[in-house]
Chains A and B, each alone.
Chain A
Amino acid sequence: MADLLFNLFAVLTLVAAAGVVINRNAVNAAMCLLLSLVGVAGLFVVLDAYLLAFLLLLVYAGAIVALFLFIVMLLDAKGDVPAPVRKIPLLARIMALVLVIAGISSFFARGQLPSPDPATTPALGASLKLYAYQLFTVYLLPVQILGFLLLIAMIGVIVLSKKFEGLDDIK
C-alpha cells in the first residue's frame, strides 16, 4: 500500500512540476504548482510526517498559491513569449550531454545510500509532542529569530506597497 501511494504521489509531484515549467499561461502554472504541492504533501504522509503534510497544504497551497493567483490576476500577466533559440556551440552540447549521462550513471552505479528499514526505525515525525519539545528547547532561538523575520517581512511589504512618486519621496 505504501509502495502504491509513494509511486502515485511521486509521479503526481514530478508531472505537475513539469507542468509549471511547460505551461505558457501563468494561471495554469500556478494550478500545476498547487497539484505538485499536493503530491509533496502526500509524500510527507507516506513518510509519517502528518503535521508537516498538513502545514505544507495550509501554508503553501492555502496561502502562497492563493497569493500567487491573486497577483497573477491583479497584474493580468499574459503568457510567455517563447525563449529565442540561441546557438549553442556543438562542443558545449556534447560536454553537457556527457556530464548528464555520467552523473545519472554514477548515481545508479554507486550513489546508493544504505536505506534503513522504515518499519524498524521509529517514526518521530508522527507525534506532535516531539515537535513542540524540539521547538521550545533546542530550537528556541531560531524560533524567536523567525518571529522577527516575519515581523520584518511584514514591515517590508507595507513599505514596498506604499505608493511613492519618483526618487524624491524616498529622501
Chain B
Amino acid sequence: MIAPTLNAYLAISVLLFAIGLLGVLIRRNVLVIFMCLELMLVASTIALVAYSRFNGTMDGNVFVFFILTVAAAEVAVGLAIIVALFRKRQTTAVQDLNTLKN
C-alpha cells in the first residue's frame, strides 16, 4: 500500500502522461492517437488537483475547469477533422496520411 502523499499523486500523473505519450508515439490509428492525447490532458489535471489539495489553494481546481472545456472543444474539432480526412482518403492509419511529408 502506498500512502496518498503529494509525491504519490505526482508519480501517478507522470506515469499516466508517459503512457499517453507512448501511445501517441507507437499507435498507428489516428483515433487511438487522439485518445492517448486525451489521457495526457487528464494526467495534467491530476497534478493540478493534487497541488491544490495539498497546498490549500483554489487556482489548480479552477484550471481543471478550463482544461475540461478546452478538451471538449478540441475533441469536437479533432474528430470533425478526422471524419473529413476519412471522407477524402478512406483511411485512419497515420502511415497513409503523409501528403505533407517531404
Binding site for B on A (CB under 8 A): 2-4, 6-7, 10, 13-14, 17-18, 20-21, 26, 29-30, 33, 36-37, 40, 43-44, 46-49, 52, 55-56, 59-60, 63-64, 67-68, 71-72, 74-75, 77, 79-81, 83, 107, 111-116, 118, 121-125, 130-131, 134-135, 138-139, 142, 146, 149-150, 152-154, 156-157, 160-161, 163
Contact = CB atoms under 8 A, between A and B. Distances in A.
A130 B79 contact: no
Given A55-B65, A149-B70, A21 B1 contact: no
A60 B58 contact: no
Contact of A59 (B3, B55, B68): B68
Contacts of A83: 26-28
B4 A37 contact: no
* Chain B, interface residues (CB within 8 Å), range: 35 or more
Given A37-B42, A134-B62, A49 B53 contact: yes
Interface in B1-40: 1-12, 15-16, 19-20, 22-23, 26-29, 31-32, 34-36, 38-39
Contacts of B26: 21, 83
A35 B60 CA distance: 24
Given A80-B28, A124-B58, A146-B70, A115 B6 contact: yes
B80 A161 contact: yes
Contacts of B97: none
A45 to B, nearest CB: 10
27 contacts: A6-B4, A6-B8, A13-B16, A14-B12, A17-B39, A37-B42, A40-B46, A43-B46, A46-B4, A49-B53, A56-B68, A59-B71, A67-B76, A68-B31, A68-B35, A77-B31, A80-B27, A83-B27, A111-B7, A112-B7, A115-B5, A115-B7, A116-B6, A121-B56, A152-B73, A157-B76, A160-B84
